Amino acid sequence: MTDATNAQVLAHKLDAAAGAFEQWNRLQPAGRAPYLEAIASALEEAAPKLVAIADEETSLGQTRLQNEMVRTVFQLRLFAEVVTRGEYLGATIDRADPAWPMGPRPDLRRVLEPLGPVVVFAASNFPFAFSVAGGDTASALAAGCPVVVKAHSGHPGLSAATAEVVHHALRSAGAPEGLFDVVFGTEAGRAAIVDPRVKAGAFTGSIEAGRALFDLATGRPEPIPFFGELGSVNPVFVTEAAAERRGPEIVSEFVGSFTLGAGQFCTKPGILLVPASAGLVDRLPGAVPGNALTLLNDRIRTSYASAVRELRDTAGVRVVVSGDHAAPDPSPTVLCTTSAELLGDPEALVREVFGPAALVVEYAEESELLEVAKVIDGQLTASIQGEDDDAIAAELIRLLAAKAGRVLWNQWPTGVSVTYAQQHGGPYPATTAPGTTSVGTEAISRFLRPVAYQGLPQHLLPAALRDANPLGIPQRAS
């Protein structure tokens, strides 16, 4: 297609999304549940075909991809339950009160309402769960927002096939045309995020790409919210007592976590802080497997090789396990430095390496863990391997809670459960919107905005705010 034709196709899809919003927004929240269920069922039926395509394009393996499909279907059905219950609307009713201490209070009623069409940028490393029909799409549709997905170049065939499954499911269920669509190409994504018909963006990927899109979204004549998940090293802090009592176990679990999925998880523990006196670094050469691991695509291979080389060549860094990082299928690499070096140049040493590499940081005094916690930037996760009687634990947790969206105790960050209390976000550069999450039921809140209605008669109020509560949802009334 020519550039002009591509622009016309995008304009047509965004026009359709804007039109669909007028219909989708009028539907009561519980009425969206059958459409989410329809997508989930259609994906289940098409799973064998889609998994085969995904494996051909990503080499992630049938088992991993089948499990990811289960997660994708579960997310859709979980959001169907969320909209049916209606708690997410935050319906709040303050009835008129002439005796209110601040003066007579009018009748005020507040509820969350959808933003409008959303552009979702699919991720490379989760071709189902963070892609065309993934969590961003599910939560935006549940919120009442049409979705235009910018497909990832790492799995174009899968993106097209998944989109066709979703299209067919929605058409069969009677959804409005334009409720969901997909576009391809970097320029289409950039054009969509600045289009006035788009009211929010969601992204999972690199800091560079995410920041560029964030700048476009917020630099528009009408700035829009941009929910970007960008980068994280997910540091793990090992106390002296934990190293002494569980050293070999910690090393083994760390290796399993940072090499899981060839290190291509945004929650990979990229930094492990250990006491120098425990000798845990000496255990790593025997614990790290030397097998080759397949990365997702050539772009990631190139970026990985460059990132490992730069970190390896940084002053104060030595090689503990020399993986073949420049090979098409690299083996794991482990580098080592000291907390003194890290504190002296955190910008150079606290950096994400997307792939099977990690940096071990040895400290001399346990108090250095607190100093490191103070200098690290925003993270998706921060973990502590400790003992219940560690004197440093409470202060370390307090510091890490200020830097990360999820703080773990004696667990590893690579598992991200899709549930109600999950928080998958964090201060920049982990995300561009630290008050939100991209995993779990609270992800729906990204695509909603509050509206207060003052003094309206009952029949003109949104159903969620009427005294009769025709939707049967939770209401906070005073």
Place of tokens 């009769």: 468
Let me know if 145 is a catalytic residue.
no
- Catalytic residue, chosen from 57, 68, 229, 442, is 229
CB 207 within 8 A of CB 378: no
| Strand 226-229 versus strand 236-238 pairing type | unpaired
- Would you say 416 and 439 are in contact if contact means Cβ atoms under 8 Å apart? yes
Which is the catalytic residue, given 37, 68, 253, 266? Answer: 266
Q: Identify each DSSP E strand in 278-418 by its residue range.
A: 318-321, 333-338, 357-363, 379-385, 404-409
Q: State the CB neighbour count (10 A cutoff) for residue 380.
A: 28
Interatomic CA distance for residues 266 and 234, integer angstroms: 8
Which residue from 228, 284, 259 is spatially nearest to 432, judged by alpha carbons?
A: 228
Residue 198, CB half-sphere, CA atoms under 13 Å: how many? 32
Kindly state the helix (H) or strand (E) to which residue 228 belongs, with its residue range: strand 226-229
Query: Which residues in 405-429 are b (16+ Cβ under 10 Å) and which e?
Result: bbbbeeebbbebebeeebbbbbbbb
For this structure, is 336 an active site residue?
Answer: no
The token pair at 220 is: 């528009």
246 vs 384: CA distance, rounded Å: 13
Tell me: cis bond preceding 221? Omega within 30 of 0 counts: no
Catalytic residue positions, numbered: 229, 266
